[in-house]
Amino acid sequence: MFNHRNLIGVVVTIIWLSIAINYCFRSPYDYRGHDIYGQLEYSEFIAKNHKLPTSNDCYQCYHPPLYYIIANLITPSILSFRDYHINFVRGISVFYGTLVLWIILLVLEKVTTDKRAWLMTLLFIETTPAFVFIFSRYNNDSLLSLLSISALAIVFNVYFKWSQRLGILLFIVAAGCFYTKYTAVFCMLSLCLLCCKNFFLGKLLTENQFRILRILFLAFLLYSPWLVFHNYRHFKKITPLNFESRMYEKLDFGKALNTLSTVVKIPILQSTPKEWSEPWAHSGLEQAHEATKRNDFFSFSFVTSIIGECSFDKPAVIFFWALLLIHLIIVLFGLKQSFKSNLTKLALSLILLGQLTHLSFTIFMKPPVWGCTLDYRYICWSWLPWAVLYASALSDKTLLASVLKRIFVIGITIQVYILLVLTGPALTP
């Protein structure tokens, strides 16, 4: 049935495809992507050897295989049609982004009946540069983001009212998350902690919380053969990683505090003198840029949630400063909605748990922490709960809500302009 929801979905999809395809044509495949040549090596190994690699076969081959299996099954061979294969897989990422937008739309139906709130929220998210970057590149982040957001959307539905069909779907999606990338643990752990909320408050878990926990546990059991018969069999490690030299071999409380003290700051108030001299995150590896935000977890996460780990030559830097300010204002408006309903409370909980689980990962890292480990892409599934808060704020019948709508329009306009004209290096140093 072609109703208002479907009409909005079609409009949002057309705009998304126009923006994403234009961006793909204007940006080489190795721009604003992470470890692209390692990703390609993984696919090349599968195509050449017709088996899954071990982590010694290439520097990205430690990843679980689902993304690369899909990329090789439904696209032309990377060995015979390399460029066509790469572009086809980037197109699949764009398709994943389309699915994400429809999933968010289905959740927003439960938040408000305000159709304009749905439309403005989706347009704002799909034109955010970081969203475009993730869903237009050759990288397993795109599939993991789709599956993680799907898992959250299902939990939004079954947390208060159970559905056996959605429970089965949650099991499939959660297992897919695990088999796509190790950082799925941020999403899965956040969902587990959410369902343990009553336990931490000294109360009994609800039946639906028990059900979700059981499903996530079963999904992990389905993932365990990969950990045992692939990882441990070959390396005597459950999770072989290519950056273990940057991690503590054994963690103690003193080391954890040492690491956290280097990255947890009050933004602006505890920033270094030149940290905000530029809007870019400047991830840095061994030698940090003077304007790096890698020593400020929350600033780095905020900036990369909008423009990724990138810097740009065009348009003028003033547009990026304006965009950061607009996002900050919209975030504050969204947080104001946190306790408006059960769904907004759920959204706030997932946002906070995402930040907590991501931050907890840093305690395993030796200072100086690489900025790339703080990148928002690991918890970009938080776009869904943020969308819930945004739509709730936009649906208010107040003067502030009318002001917010104008801010959204300005933000969407700036983002579209940036995406149409941007030029610059692949990633910031």
Contacts of 2-8 spanning 24+ positions with Cβ under 8 A:
4/115, 5/105, 5/109, 5/115, 5/118, 8/105, 8/115, 8/118, 8/119, 8/122
Cβ proximity of 85 and 317 under 8 Å = no
* DSSP secondary structure code for residue 365 in this structure: B
Confidence of residue 1 (pLDDT cuts 50, 70, 90): low
Q: What's the rounded Cα separation, in Å, for the pair 210 and 307?
A: 38
Which of 4-18, 33-47, 361-375 reaches the highest mean pLDDT?
4-18
How far is the C-alpha of 105 from the C-alpha of 119, rounded, in Å?
9
* Res 7: pLDDT: 95
CB 130 within 8 A of CB 307: yes
- Look-up: residue for tokens 């460029």? 83
Q: At what angle do helices 207-225 and 184-195 cross, to 10 degrees?
A: 150
Residue type, 420: L
Tokens of 111: 């938040």
pLDDT in tens, 16-66: 999 999 999 988 887 777 788 889 999 999 999 999 998 888 888 889 999
**ω before 315 within 30° of 0 (cis)?**
yes
Look at the block and give the residue holding tokens 């906070």: 352
How far from each other are the two terminal CA atoms of the chain, in whole angstroms? Answer: 50
Candidates 381, 412, 390, 394; CA nearest to 103 is: 381
CA distance linking residue 310 with residue 405, whole number of Å? 28
Q: Could you report the per-residue pLDDT of 244-287, keeping only the tens digit for each?
A: 667 776 777 788 888 888 888 888 888 888 889 999 988 776 56
Check residue 135 and give its pLDDT. Answer: 97
Q: How far is CA 218 from CA 92, 204, 278, in A?
A: 29, 21, 46
Longest dimension (CA), the chain: 63
In this structure, what token pair is assigned to residue 363? 């305690």
Q: What does the block give as tokens for 90?
A: 């980037």
Q: How many CA atoms lie within 13 A of 393 on its CB side?
A: 26
CA triplet 142, 181, 209: central angle to 5 degrees? 95
Write the pLDDT tens digit of every residue in 184-206.
Answer: 999 999 999 999 998 988 889 99
